[in-house]
Amino acid sequence: MLMSRILILLISIGVIGLVAPVSIASDQPQSVDVIAELIDQADDGATITVPEGVYQGNLVVSKPITLLANGDVVIDALGKGTVIELRAEGITLRGFTVRGSGSTVDHEPAGVRAFDGPVTIEDNTFEDVYFGIDLRQSPETIIRNNHLVGKDLELGRRGDGIRLWWSHGCVIQDNTAIDLRDMVFWYSEDLVIERNKVSQSRYGLHFMYSHNTVMSENELTDNSVGIYLMYSNNITLKHNRVVNNRGSSGYGIGLKDCDDIVIEDNALLANRVGIYIDNSPSSVDAVGLITRNSLSFNEIGLLATPITHDNVISENVFVENEEQVAVHGGGQLTLNSFEKDGRGNFWSDYAGFDLENDGIGDLPHAPRSLFRNLLAREPNLRIFVHSPAQQAIELTARAFPDLSPQPMFTDPSPLSTVPKLQLMPSSDSTNPWPMAVLSAGLFFSSLCIGWFFVYTPCESDTQVPHPPRRVDA
């Protein structure tokens, strides 16, 4: 009897020992078929809560249902194909981690690809995906609060973070994209694009033939280009922050053949080019409005092709751009207006004065630069910028007005004080202490070295007694 009890005890211990690994096994990755079965069993419009865990494989959703992640739900395609395909309208995908799409160029595998709209894609995290979210004719879709990180590929070889194809009326808000190619909108109209952050990508926001959209409060940093609008009309850019986009094109905002663009209250800082205008507006009766932006610390503040016309550029702040305004290939911008209702722009290099104290400079701002003129003719000379030789040429031109070229543009009423701008504040704060320590370190180490050299005796003075002083002959 005792024997059998001990036996039972031993067996039960053994069973527990065997069961334990089994219960661990449920934490092991499962197939996405588990989710697919849940979807199969659900009715249209149902809400499915997916239990926590890692699910491997490619998921296709072809029923209008709501998929919610219960905690940390990872769907991993293990580097093959598109992770999740949404093939019905009315699908909601919320809270998932989408990981490991393929990276072949021919099928353009994505984290989530939608073929029908509207769908809602919210609060998801995308890791190691080729394309992030790809909408193919999914109108009125909502893409909100997703975090996307791309694959570590060369810039042109990467996939797009968010791509819209023929998807009108979509809302794209609060998304973050890092290490991807573009956030690109093809043939999609009436979009709302707000508060997205794109960094270390190729084009932050890229419009192709997509009209009638307002973009506001987006933050685009460290990309090749911040915002590039191409062949897209009637677009308003407001309160965006475009900083440090210095790739091979390096435009903060680029406009190519776009009509009726409004650029207002944007901060365009430390880009290679603040705003680049290539033949915009292109239609006869269209205009471009560039108002109350800060174009500061860029290599070139405003760059435009010589045929650019009918832009009204007023109340902007041009501070300390290496070149404030430049014409691509040389020429003048006289077909554009640099003032509106008697108010021009603020130029940090304005050399005039304001005796009347009305906030408007008494002399027009008509910068002329011999060196810039030379640069436009001979681009190779750009290697000499930031050098005293450049200053020498400018000085010569000033001393001999005959050498001075025609002014590139004229601002008839430049602002004499910096106007108050309503820009989006920076989200990153910098710590001044390392610089302060460097400052103090440099200062005092210099003084200490000086003190050491002057006041410490020579090494041998301490070892060798001074011989009697000799008198020079």
Partner 1 sequence: MTTLSTDQFHGHEIQTHAGPGHTSRMYCTIAFAKREFFDALSSRWFLLYTVAFSVLSIGVSYMSLAGSGSQGFAGFGRTTAGLLNLIMLVVPLMALIAGAGSIAGERERGTLLYLLAQPITRTELLIGKYIGLGIAICCSMGIGFGLSAAVLAFNAGGVGLGSFSMLIVFTCMLALAMLSLGMLLSVLSRRSGIATGLGLFSWLTLVFLSDLGLMAGTVLFKLRVQEVFAIAIINPLQAFKMGVIVNMNASLDVLGPVGSYASRTFGDSLSWILALTLVGWIVFPLGLALILFCKRGGI
Residue closer to partner 1 by CB (options 70, 445) is 445
Q: Which of 322, 349, 356, 362 binds partner 1 (CB under 8 A)?
A: 322
Q: Does 351 bind partner 1 (CB under 8 A)?
A: no
Residue closer to partner 1 by CB (options 156, 432) is 432
Number of residues lying near partner 1 (CB under 8 A) = 72
Please give the C-alpha separations between residue 373 and each of 92, 302, 360, 403, in angstroms, as whole numbers.
57, 16, 28, 11
Kindly identify the residues of this chain, within the stretch 236-265, that bind partner 1 according to CB under 8 A.
Answer: 243, 246, 248, 250
- Listed in sequence order, the residues at least 6 apart from 453 whose beta carbon sits closer than 8 Å to its beta carbon are none
Q: Does 384 bind partner 1 (CB under 8 A)?
A: yes
- Listed in sequence order, the residues at least 6 apart from 230 whose beta carbon sits closer than 8 Å to its beta carbon are 206, 207, 208, 209, 256, 257, 258
The 187-226 contact track toward partner 1, x by CB under 8 A, reads ----------------------------------------
Q: Does 269 bind partner 1 (CB under 8 A)?
A: yes
Kindly identify the residues of this chain, within the stretch 122-161, that bind partner 1 according to CB under 8 A.
Answer: none
Kindly identify the residues of this chain, within the stretch 387-416, that bind partner 1 according to CB under 8 A.
Answer: 387-389, 391-393
The 416-435 contact track toward partner 1, x by CB under 8 A, reads --x--x-x-xx--xxxxxxx
Q: Which of 163, 206, 272, 372 binds partner 1 (CB under 8 A)?
A: 272
Please give the C-alpha separations between residue 9 and each of 5, 12, 17, 19, 445, in angstroms, as whole numbers.
6, 5, 12, 15, 76
Q: Which of 17, 284, 458, 462 binds partner 1 (CB under 8 A)?
A: 458
What is the C-alpha to C-alpha distance for residues 162 and 32, in angstroms, rounded to an integer?
24
- Among the listed residues 46, 82, 81, the one whose alpha carbon sits nearest the alpha carbon of residue 67: 46
Least distance in angstroms from the C-beta of 97 to partner 1: 32
Q: Name the one range near partner 1 by CB under 8 A: 16-24, 156-164, 185-193, 460-468.
A: 460-468
Q: Which of 40, 285, 341, 459 binds partner 1 (CB under 8 A)?
A: 459
**Contact, 113 vs 91, CB < 8 A?**
no
Q: E strands of 200-250, at which residues? A: 203-208, 213-216, 219-221, 225-230, 235-238, 241-243
Start-end of H helices in 26-79: 33-41
Q: Does 359 bind partner 1 (CB under 8 A)?
A: no
Tokens of 280: 């915009």
Residue closer to partner 1 by CB (options 4, 380) is 380
Q: Which of 78, 155, 214, 270 binds partner 1 (CB under 8 A)?
A: 270
Provide the CB-side half-sphere exposure for 208 (13 A, CA): 11
- Listed in sequence order, the residues at least 6 apart from 192 whose beta carbon sits closer than 8 Å to its beta carbon are 170, 171, 172, 173, 213, 214
